[in-house]
């Protein structure tokens, strides 16, 4: 009886594949950090000048400049930064005087809360609209959906936010204004998750919860409308590419109803593409909600990153950009995992 193949080569192959996967992620993040660091160091912004002020004498400026290590070559500065990271030191934010990791842990949950509600709104409405538009191609409802999508792409998001505040907060008084809650409710709830809606529910403070809902509806709708416009357009394009395929025609010939053809066959074949679109849109909302956070005075990640970019604080900028890179890598990995769930052909 001939012996079977040794399992050792398979183990080595799996180990090599895992090593390449992890190494590729690490190399991508390292390149992102290096590019961000070098671009940040050649920007005209001077963090030492921001710290000491315009009226400081030359000796004070020089002392702060050297203390920040700005007198060293860029390669040396970047190596020192990586060495600090290896020891778990992410640096101190020059703008706030607190550890950068603590600042991000404080502001990031608010952006996650806002972006999550926005993507639920955008995908929950955009996908059905895209399907309806594709099925009714050339009809009035298709033109209406395309008009709504085009408007969402065309209107500047900051203008839409300001008009929303003017109408629904200033004139009608239906929704809350800037910020997470009214000033009266500040610090009434212990921040456990950093997401005020969840924390207020945990604490049983329903007044705070409903006030927070009134404040988040408008910025989430503005962001959600922008993402809905993109998702609906992509869904429509994917559906149109599949509706006239042979399998769809065959299903109709066999007597299946149009709804079954659309949802059981055609829509199933575009789910993988939609996973990628929704995941990347969600990542963009997490790192790109800067204008909305500015308009609505939302204490989130985008506003924090913008303030530190203007200040030239490389400690905060580096960690923020690295976090954005990790988010997109994580969303791509999640998309790959969902491919295997939605498309059995990818499991092999």
Span 83-99, pLDDT tens digits: 888 888 787 787 777 88
Kindly tell me if the per-residue pLDDT of 1 is higher than 50.
no
308 and 317 Cβ atoms separated by less than 8 Å: yes
Given pLDDT bands bounded at 50, 70 and 90, which one contains residue 44? low
The average pLDDT across 174-194 equals 81
Mean pLDDT for the chain overall: 82
Residue 275 has pLDDT above 80, yes or no: yes
Secondary structure of the chain as H, E, C letters: CCCCCCCHHHHHHHHHHHHHHHHHHHHHHHHHHHHHHHHHHHCCCCHHHHHHCCCCCHHHHHHHHHHCCCCCCHHHHHHHHHHHHHCCCCCECCCCCCEHHHHHHHHHHHHHHHHHHHHHHHHHHHHHHHHHHHHCCCCHHHHHHHHHHHHHHHCCHHHHHHHHHHHHHHHCCCCCCCCCCCHHHCCCCCCCCCCHHHHHHHHCCHHHHHHHHHHHHHHHHHHHHHHHHHHHHHHHHHHHHHHCCHHHHHHHHCCCCHHHHHHHHHHHHHHHHHHHHHHHHHHHHHHHCHHHHHHCCCCCHHHHHHHHHHHCCHHHHHHHHHHHHHHHHHHHHHHHHHHHHHCHHHHC
Q: At residue 325, does pLDDT exceed 50?
A: yes
Domains of the chain are: 13-86 (no CATH), 100-347 (1.10.3720.10)
Least-confidence region, from 132-136, 306-310, 326-330? 306-310
Average pLDDT score over residue span 150-171: 86
Report the range of poorest mean pLDDT among 105-114, 224-233, 317-326.
317-326
What percentage of the chain exceeds 90 in pLDDT? 8
CB crowding 47-77: b at 16 or more within 10 Å, else e? bbebbbeeeeeeeebeebbeebeeeeeeeeb
Specify the pTM. 0.81
| Interval 234-272: pLDDT, tens | 999 988 888 877 777 787 787 777 788 888 878 888 888
pLDDT at 320: 85
pLDDT at 211 over 70: yes
**Greatest distance between any 2 Cα atoms in the chain:** 89
Any idea which of 38-42, 88-92, 119-123 has the lowest mean pLDDT? Answer: 38-42
């Amino acid at each position: 009886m001939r012996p079977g193949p040794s399992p050792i080569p398979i183990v080595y192959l799996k180990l090599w594949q895992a090593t390449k996967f992890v190494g590729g992620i690490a190399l991508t993040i390292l390149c992102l950090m290096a590019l961000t660091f070098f671009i940040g160091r050649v920007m005209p912004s001077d963090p030492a000048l921001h710290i000491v002020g315009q009226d400081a004498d030359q000796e004070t400026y020089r002392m702060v400049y050297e203390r920040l290590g700005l007198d060293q070559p860029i390669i040396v500065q970047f190596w020192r930064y990586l060495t600090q990271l290896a020891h778990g030191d992410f640096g101190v934010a020059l703008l706030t005087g607190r550890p950068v990791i603590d600042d991000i842990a404080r502001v990031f949950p608010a952006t996650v809360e806002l972006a999550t509600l926005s993507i639920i709104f955008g995908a929950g409405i955009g996908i059905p609209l895209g399907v309806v538009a594709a099925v009714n191609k050339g009809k009035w409802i298709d033109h209406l959906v395309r008009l709504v999508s085009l408007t969402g792409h065309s209107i500047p998001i900051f203008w839409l936010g300001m008009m929303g505040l003017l109408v629904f907060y200033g004139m009608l008084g239906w929704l809350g204004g800037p910020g997470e809650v009214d000033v009266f409710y500040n610090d009434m709830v212990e921040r456990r998750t950093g997401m005020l809606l969840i924390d207020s529910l945990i604490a049983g403070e329903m007044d705070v919860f409903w006030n927070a809902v009134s404040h988040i509806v408008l910025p989430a709708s503005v962001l959600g409308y922008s993402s809905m416009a993109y998702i609906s357009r992509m869904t429509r394009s994917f559906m149109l590419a599949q509706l006239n395929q042979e399998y769809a025609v065959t299903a109709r010939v066999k007597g299946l109803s149009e709804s079954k053809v659309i949802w059981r066959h055609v829509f199933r074949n575009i789910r993988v593409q939609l996973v990628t679109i929704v995941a990347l849109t969600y990542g963009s909302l997490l790192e790109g909600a800067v204008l909305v956070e500015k308009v609505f005075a939302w204490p989130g990640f985008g506003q924090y990153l913008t303030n530190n970019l203007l200040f030239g604080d490389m400690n905060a900028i580096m960690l923020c950009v690295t976090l954005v890179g990790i988010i997109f890598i994580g969303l791509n990995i999640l998309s790959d995992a969902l491919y295997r769930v939605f498309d059995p052909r990818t499991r092999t």
